[in-house]
Amino acid sequence: MKPGTARVNGIRMHYARGGDGPPMVLLHGWPQTSHCWRFLAGPLAETYTVIAPDLRGYGHSDKPPDGYDKRTMARDVAELVVSLGFGGAVGVVGHDRGARVGHRWALDRPEQVGRLAVLDIVPTHALWQRWDTRLAASYWHWMFHLQPDLPELLAGKDVAGYLRYFFERWTYRREVFDPATIDTYVRAFSAPGALRAGFDDYRAAFPADDAHDSADAEAGRRLTMPVLALWGAQGLLGELPALEIWRGYADDVRGRAVTECGHFLPEEQPEVVLRELLEFFAG
């Protein structure tokens, strides 16, 4: 995978690219960067042109003070793919926040997304609708990150300690987050503006993303391309009926829980995820 930088939608976006086939885009989540695809990018590049960007506000990409609603972040990625000479992507794979960007991209520009894989999420709109004490206990960080200034103040005093909390609590196979891997992510979120940008990603979930999602629901807009939903059996979704929920938002959904896996599927169970992706995108 070779690094690159493109000027898209008013920002400089860093990406890694490899392979020489139909384009496949990999979108990371929080608290990570495109580094999270290190186990999957190479094998996928044997069949596809793999494009793995650092999303707006993450990694080596710009960290502007605005534009963290998923519509804008999806436009970033759409423009990146076009700037690299492609009309769209035969496949988009998103994990965590990246899956929310991929979902929005597929809704706003369905002609650019052939197939969509979403890892360890349900739609943002569905999550807000189902909010109860159990979800609040699992997704407490959403409400914390929504607060202005406070997360930067508290987490900024110990970036490593804050991120390590999630890499321990959200994993089943904790050994995959060795010191070198954690240090890579800690360095990324210790860069100027990085913590704030990551929290701004969450701050956009309400009201901006919720307003966009609610408008789609009222208009009856659904995903029309095939969708693969995978989640960790020991991940954040817990007892949520993920497939049933996704079928309320998409016409063609398949998927399953991945056993012995927490939230971070691309790193905890890369062999299983690779097998599922290759089968799904082969059609």
**Token representation of residue 270:** 């890369």
How far, in Å, CA of 7 to CA of 29, rounded? 21
How far, in Å, CA of 239 to CA of 107, rounded? 26
Q: Which of 14, 103, 145, 263 is catalytic?
A: 263
The predicted pLDDT at position 283 comes to: 81
Q: Positive or negative, the Cα torsion across 231, 24, 203, 191?
A: positive
The predicted pLDDT at position 239 comes to: 85
Q: What are phi and psi of 164, to 5 degrees?
A: -60, -30
Which H or E run includes 107? helix 97-108
Which residues have a Cβ under 8 Å from the Cβ of 216 and sit 6 or more positions away?
107, 125
The predicted pLDDT at position 188 comes to: 98
The predicted pLDDT at position 238 comes to: 84
Q: Is 95 a catalytic residue?
A: no
For the chain, which residues score pLDDT lower than 50? none
Number of domains in the chain: 1
The predicted pLDDT at position 204 comes to: 98
Q: Kindly compute the dihedral angle of the four CA atoms of residues 186, 188, 192, 193, in this order, to the nearest 10 degrees.
A: -100
CATH of the domain at 151: 3.40.50.1820
Q: Is 96 a catalytic residue?
A: yes
Q: Which of 62, 96, 120, 200 is catalytic?
A: 96
Instruction: State which amino acid sits at residue 82.
Output: V
Contact (Cβ atoms closer than 8 angstroms) between residue 73 and residue 124: no
How far, in Å, CA of 254 to CA of 243, rounded? 7
The predicted pLDDT at position 146 comes to: 97
* Domain interval for residue 182: 2-281
